[in-house]
């Protein structure tokens, strides 16, 4: 559901990635404790060293009170990474309810 919403509120280019959603799986998780995940599409994961295109951005405040951002990355034509990061650069956090996430659209958060 989060990936669908990110693509729906993403860049104009993000819409062409929507047909990949049924075959997206988690390829790996970040080792630092944040909720970031690397993704695969149809069993194929893009190289994390390849150039990235930002498909969508969002943000919010976690249940722990930490402001965070979300970036959905595409690489090699594939949805490749769902990045979560604390805005202040510190602290482990969990993802809030989807209704509390603000999606970045055309210069502001909605």
* DSSP 3-state of 102: strand
CA-to-CA distance for 44 and 46, rounded, in angstroms?
7
Strand-pair category, 78-86 with 102-105 = unpaired
Instruction: Identify the band that residue 76 occupies on the pLDDT scale cut at 50, 70 and 90.
Output: very high
| pLDDT for residue 37 | 93
Do residues 101 and 57 make contact, with C-beta atoms less than 8 angstroms apart? no
CA-to-CA distance for 7 and 103, rounded, in angstroms?
10
Whole-structure pTM value: 0.90
Average of per-residue pLDDT values in the chain: 89
* Burial group, residue 69, by CB count within 10 angstroms (0-12, 13-18, 19+): middle
**How large a percentage of the chain has pLDDT more than 90?**
63
Predicted confidence (pLDDT) per residue in 9-37, tens digit: 999 989 899 999 999 999 999 887 788 99
């Amino acid at each position: 559901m989060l990936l669908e919403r990110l693509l729906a509120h993403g860049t104009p280019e993000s819409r062409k990635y929507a047909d990949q959603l049924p075959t997206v799986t988690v390829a790996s998780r970040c080792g630092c404790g944040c909720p970031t995940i690397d993704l695969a599409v149809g069993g194929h994961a893009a190289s994390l060293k390849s150039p990235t295109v930002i498909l969508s951005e969002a943000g919010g405040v976690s249940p722990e009170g930490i402001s965070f951002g979300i970036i959905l990355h595409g690489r090699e034509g594939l949805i490749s990474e769902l990045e979560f990061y604390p805005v202040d650069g510190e602290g482990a956090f969990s993802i809030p309810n989807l209704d509390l996430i603000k999606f970045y659209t055309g210069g502001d958060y909605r």
